Structure 1
Amino acid sequence: MSFISARWLTTPLFAAACSVGLLASSPSFADEKLPNVMILATGGTIAGTGATSTTTVGYTAAKIGVEQLIEAVPELKKVANVKGEQVFQIASENMTNDHWLKLSKRVNELLAKPDVDGIVITHGTDTIEETAYFLDLTVHSAKPVVIVGAMRPATAISADGPINLYNAVSLAGSKDAVGKGVLVALNDQINAGRDVTKTNTSTADTFRTPELGMLGYMQGGLPHFYRQPVRKHTTESEFDVSKLDSLPQVDIVYGYANNNRIALDAFVKAGAKGIIHAGVGDGSLSNAMKPGLIDARKDGVVIVRSSRVGNGILARNGEANDDELDFVASDTLNPQKARILLMLALTKTSDTKAIQKMFYTY
């Protein structure tokens, strides 16, 4: 079964179906032999359309609604009872803290229902890894939460959305996925929300977990796990956003040759409560940047040293005397994920020793 093609989207039949609501009918949880999976749609390339069937760049993201995504993959009904809900419809570069809070609260609300066995979230690939880690820290259920996207729009000849969505629903309904935290499933691979990152601008195999490795594969609609996350997540997380309407401002300052403190000072002046320094190498601080970070810390801003490299453990007291400077080391978290953990940490404490412990825990 092919996904939504460019020709289908432009046919009178498609227009008529939309007008009478044929594509808006939501499947019910009817088959007691199958797991019940909610699909929460947020937009992204998986819901995108292009000018032609060969358009794989320069397309428009977030155009197709959740019910159309479901109806386009009828095989879903063989692996789960599915219902769809359009939470928002955006390209994922436009994801904000407010979106995350809304999504996390909705996921927690749904997973508290006894008739919901798992959740799939369709999402743009640009910030999948950030949303996955945020939910990994704020969803308090052992039930599977699977985030899925696509690297090619729904109208492309070789659209990867259909099989990715099929695998994600199968995974979310599997008992083998229970208790493994928030998962990211694309390209027949299963990755942990904490560790996965986007490594290529456009290829289908872009999502990888460098060095630490993926958790397993999807094959024949079944998950095959070979390792599991060991850092605390979901049911073991101390972070509760149920009563939060906003998150502390945390910004990222990038390290590079001949850099300066201009952006750093601007972030502090704008009210940043925390700064992630994406340093070169092992989080090194240049002579131009270090005084600005020291000044920011004296003003009460929490400083986390991370690295732009993408792999490895950032050594505390390695390229900087973190004990003396009262800085925090990011462990293996990349800058964008370190930002998420620091935002959540700052909802509980500004004590750098306690925050450092969190970075070694989650």
Structure 2
Amino acid sequence: MPSLTSTRALLAAFGLAAAMATAQAQTAANMKLPNVTILATGGTIAGTGATSTTTVGYTAATVGVDTLIKAVPELQKVAHVSGEQVFQIASENMGNEQWLALAKRVNALLAKPDVDGIVITHGTDTLEETAYFLDLVVKSRKPVVLVGSMRPSTAMSADGPINLYNAVITAGSQDAVGKGVLVVMNDQINAARDVTKTNTTTTDTFKTPELGMLGYVIAGQPHFYRAALRKHTADTEFDVSSLNALPQVDIAYTYANVGPVAVNALVAAGARGLVHAGVGDGSLPAKVRPALSAAREKGVIVVRSSRVGQGIVARNGEANDDQLDFVVSDTLNPQKARILLMLALTKTGSTKEIQRMFYTY
């Protein structure tokens, strides 16, 4: 029968072995965690309010990326997370210059073998536009996820922390590879091309009303149920690596009793492309049609879109697009049609080629 001393030594040895095994298992688990870079651009997710109940009238873009990451310590359990402060702006101030800089930084990071995915924190006002721009110019199949919040970081029940957590999980998931640029908010995964902001203040504002979301993030896992079929990211023909500016493209909004003033002013201001946000199926009011036709004769590319928000703008439906030499936006809303037209104009001035692009992307 072993002595008490030898028994204690044996137990100590077993304890040490168990501790070492646990430590090794933990180290192995940590080594398997994906490497996710968070690029912060500002917005409500980085905003602060006067009180915990301030959900409107707050100041956006006041909290830095390091603070955002520290506010969600659970991130360290799901990824090796690093952060960069790319911009610190409210998203209504996002513009072409910022898009180009952001796209180049995303492409540079994704080219690194030790970066598995990227999360971009962003204000919600133009988040869908930035997402679609990146969807067209990112040259990688690695996940890129945009995320924001509808309540500032200081608000009671702020939605930023859980949204950021879910975004990092998605960006680090192999299931998200090749799915294009994604928007993850409110436990839902949406495709950049089709998602839009549908409500001014509620936390469930981002939706794909007609075509539907791609999936959910539940219990720390992304669950995909469908995929976007239009070409995106590594499969597009667009390259911004050498671009320092984008062509001027503007949107002319249509309403009852609208006249040609906006169209004429935009053309005079140097627009190379115009998106007509028409009523219904992109209808052309009698007072506006001559101005748009004259713009096309001057070399301006005209795209018929719709202010409705859902549905296809049919070619040669509410206008003879072949005769007018116009392009139709398919299902893209006016703000996204503008983005595709800008990029199309960096490649060609042919309306036939641009129409092909609208049916491709």
Structure 2 counterparts to residues 144-163 of structure 1, below 5 A: 144-163=143-162
Structure 2 counterparts to residues 258-277 of structure 1, below 5 A: 258-277=257-276
- 1:357 aligned partner, one-letter code: R
Structure 2 residue matching 1:312: 3-state secondary structure: coil
Deviations 1:25-64 (A, max 9, x none): xxxxx93220000000000000000000000000000000
Looking at structure 1, the residues matched to 219 and 165 of structure 2 have their Cα atoms a distance apart, in angstroms, of 10
Structure 1 residue matching 2:190: 3-state secondary structure: strand
Residue 67 (str. 1) matches residue 39 (str. 2): no
Q: Which runs of 5+ in 2 are unaligned?
A: 1-28
Tell me how far 1:158 sits from its aligned partner. Answer: 1.0
Tell me how far 1:221 sits from its aligned partner. Answer: 1.2
Structure 1 residue matching 2:50: 3-state secondary structure: coil
- 2:341 aligned partner, one-letter code: L
Show the counterpart of 1:192. Answer: 191
- 1:306 aligned partner, one-letter code: S
Structure 2 counterparts to residues 45-124 of structure 1, below 5 A: 45-124=44-123
- 2:306 aligned partner, one-letter code: S
Show the counterpart of 2:356. Answer: 357
Structure 1 residue matching 2:125: 3-state secondary structure: helix
Overall identity of the aligned pairs, in %: 76
Deviations 1:258-309 (A, max 9, x none): 0011111111111100000000000000011000000000000000000000
Residue 37 (str. 1) matches residue 33 (str. 2): no
Show the counterpart of 1:14. Answer: none
Show the counterpart of 2:7. Answer: none
Structure 2 counterparts to residues 204-219 of structure 1, below 5 A: 204-219=203-218
Q: Which runs of 5+ in 1 are unaligned?
A: 1-29
Looking at structure 2, the residues matched to 303 and 280 of structure 1 have their Cα atoms a distance apart, in angstroms, of 16
Show the counterpart of 2:20. Answer: none
Deviations 1:3-28 (A, max 9, x none): xxxxxxxxxxxxxxxxxxxxxxxxxx
Looking at structure 2, the residues matched to 350 and 215 of structure 1 have their Cα atoms a distance apart, in angstroms, of 34
Deviations 1:117-167 (A, max 9, x none): 000000000001000000000001000000000000000011000000000
Looking at structure 2, the residues matched to 67 and 205 of structure 1 have their Cα atoms a distance apart, in angstroms, of 26
Structure 2 residue matching 1:93: 3-state secondary structure: helix
- 2:211 aligned partner, one-letter code: L
Show the counterpart of 1:24. Answer: none
Larger Rg: 2
Q: Give the aligned length.
A: 333
Tell me how far 1:103 sits from its aligned partner. Answer: 0.2
Looking at structure 2, the residues matched to 352 and 255 of structure 1 have their Cα atoms a distance apart, in angstroms, of 22
**TM-score scaled to structure 2, two decimals?**
0.92
Structure 1 residue matching 2:31: 3-state secondary structure: coil
Looking at structure 1, the residues matched to 226 and 30 of structure 2 have their Cα atoms a distance apart, in angstroms, of 31
- 2:168 aligned partner, one-letter code: V
- 2:172 aligned partner, one-letter code: G
Deviations 1:192-250 (A, max 9, x none): 00000000000000000011000000001100000001000001010000000000000
- 1:163 aligned partner, one-letter code: I
Looking at structure 1, the residues matched to 131 and 236 of structure 2 have their Cα atoms a distance apart, in angstroms, of 14
Deviations 1:300-353 (A, max 9, x none): 000000000000000000000000000000000000000000000000001000
Structure 2 counterparts to residues 186-335 of structure 1, below 5 A: 186-335=185-334
Structure 2 counterparts to residues 340-355 of structure 1, below 5 A: 340-355=339-354
**TM-score scaled to structure 1, two decimals?**
0.92
Structure 2 residue matching 1:32: 3-state secondary structure: helix
Structure 1 residue matching 2:266: 3-state secondary structure: helix
